[in-house]
Structure 1
Amino acid sequence: MPRRAAIIATMSDPTSAPPGWYDDGRGQQRYWDGQQWTEHTAPLEPATPDGATRPYDTAALGGDQAAAAGRPAGSPYADTTPFAGLSTNGPGGTGAAPAGYPPAGPPEPQTNVLGIVGLVVAAVGFVFALIPFVQVVGFVLLPIGFVLSLIAVFLKGRKWPAITGLALSVLGGIIGAVVFAVTALGIFNQVVDSGVLDEFDDEVSQSQAPLESDEATEGEEGETDGTGAEQVLSFGETMVWTNEVTMSVSAPEPFTPSDLAAGADQGVNLVFTITIVNGSAESLQPIVLTRVSSDGVEASRILDVGAEGGQVGIPPTTAILPGESLTWREAYSVADPDSITLQTAPSFQYEDVIFTNVPR
């Protein structure tokens, strides 16, 4: 009833309208101070489906009555004060209300959902592009993030997520290509240096053949038969190769992924601490490709740059000088923590070794 009473009062006395922003019939809003039109204007807001949402619009007064009174449609007070001499570029011409007036103007920019999606995809692809041996994931995600961000630039809403996604996609592609080239070059140099392309001489074969574990060495002396068969050790034991390069893998420990982790998709998450000691007389360039299975199911590698105690899942790429060692952590999501097989080696020049907690 109050709205109806206001409409009846307005029809009998148009100047009784309260102060506010109204359509002046000239494609804009103009401020009514309760007595007359002011010079303050603002852009029209988007049309609403209900023509009577404003208490003093044409729908409330009746289109025929407004036309008969000589007022523009949608502007019931347009004839109360002439607009002659008023400037739409005055103090309120940009849509800002004068002191004490309620605000008016266009709504806040909308959220660009596609731009945010493109930014997230590009960010994940950027992280994967920095990691050797899993860069293929980044090279798939980066183009997708680039296309989504490019489309989002032309949509309504905030532009910064789309622009940031474009920048990350391009930068990730460049850095990923550099990392891939460096990794491939390192592998190629190792193959050449090992003499694989020339011949498999006895000296190289002996340097690549694994020795017994520390546990076996304590029981008896001597080397393995040199057939290159994979050695099977328990977690916590150490593999020793003939050139005095050693490698050990700790027993698995429970791992809690952070919000930035990817790959934790199985029942149990575990982390391993891996150590390589270079006891040889030459620098060792580690190229570690670890494979883990559990109860006959391939485990999922967990990549977590926000893990407590430092990032996990990223293999080392720094050369190990003679007499030096290198330690890092790798995490995996497994099906059965009591049946784990981990296969690894310091690089492609060395025979693989298997660490396990399966009883033998």
Structure 2
Amino acid sequence: MTDRQTTPETVEESPLTVALLSVAAVGWTVAMLWSARASITSRADAAMEVTSTAYALPGAVSADLVAGAAVALLALTLVGRRWTLGATARFAVATGTGLLVGVVSAIPIITINTLGTIYAAVGGTVAAAATIGGALAGLRIPRVITAAASASVGVFLIGFLLNLFQEPVLNAFGAGDTASSANAAQWFSYSQAALSGLAAGLISYALLRRAGRRAETSPASGAVTEPTADGLRWPMYALAGAGPGLLLVIGELLSRTAGAKVLELAGKVSELERTVQELLSTARLNNALIVLFAGALTAIFAVGRTLGSPADETPADELPAGTGAPVAGTEDPDAEGRDRAADLASEDENGAEPRDKSEAGKPRD
């Protein structure tokens, strides 16, 4: 393998790619925060405000994770065009950018009621999510993080579209009475997670392949021979495909820890509400795990389809002797040995041939 100063994993993404990703991620986050604020402020009593806040928290946290990572990637790309950042400086810039995104995201929630501790808890959770997303962007695998964040936006859009047409889909799954409706809802949830994982794997794979081809054609990239055509090893594809599911898992864990006060207060509204919150929390974690594994497997299978058979890729000059007919104009490696054997035989004093064919070509005493 040809050495190079910058490995394929650490090649920065183009500014246009990360700029578009940042616009999409920030736009989605703004939509989620606006929806959460509108839902909370439209409730007539405090109990309904608490339950609405609990319902809106996981979506806002997941969106801020992606937004923090996307904006941090953009900041790193722009700064890296003028200065070379070391590992510590890179992490500091990424984490600081994520924190800034988190602080701005927390403002719409905290200002609902500056005296309410529940909104301070939500704002703090949202800010922590964006900060963690920014820190993840500081890892020296920018192309992988970009692909995972882009796939996360795709997962959000798939979830939005499926929920927009939820009623006909539930009817297709046989929703009717209470039991069949619950069964249809479960199938709907699993189908959404599987489809999201499939999309995550394909989107991340396509973006990494495109970025790899662009890096190979860049004059500064150098020649690279790797297990895949674009210089990235298959575990990087698996990580990018699993990225959206991993972010969903992190978001759910944040909601259960940093946002535990919100979920606890929602559970105190009624016994039914506590049961609903527990079911929703379990369902979100299960769906996140499905997206994680389905995305990773899809990306791995996509990479596997691009790898040719080793026998097909072996150069002709590396084939074992005798596996193919000699080509005109090429040198026969055994020709020199045969010529030497003929010369020795002709120098035999008595002109007799060797007693055994195995002795041909051996020097005489």
* Structure-2-length-normalised TM-score: 0.20
**Higher Rg of the two aligned structures:** 1
Higher relative contact order, structure no. (Cα contacts within 8 Å, ≥ 6 residues apart): 2
Which of the two has greater helix per residue? 2
Which of the two has greater strand per residue? 1
* Structure-1-length-normalised TM-score: 0.20
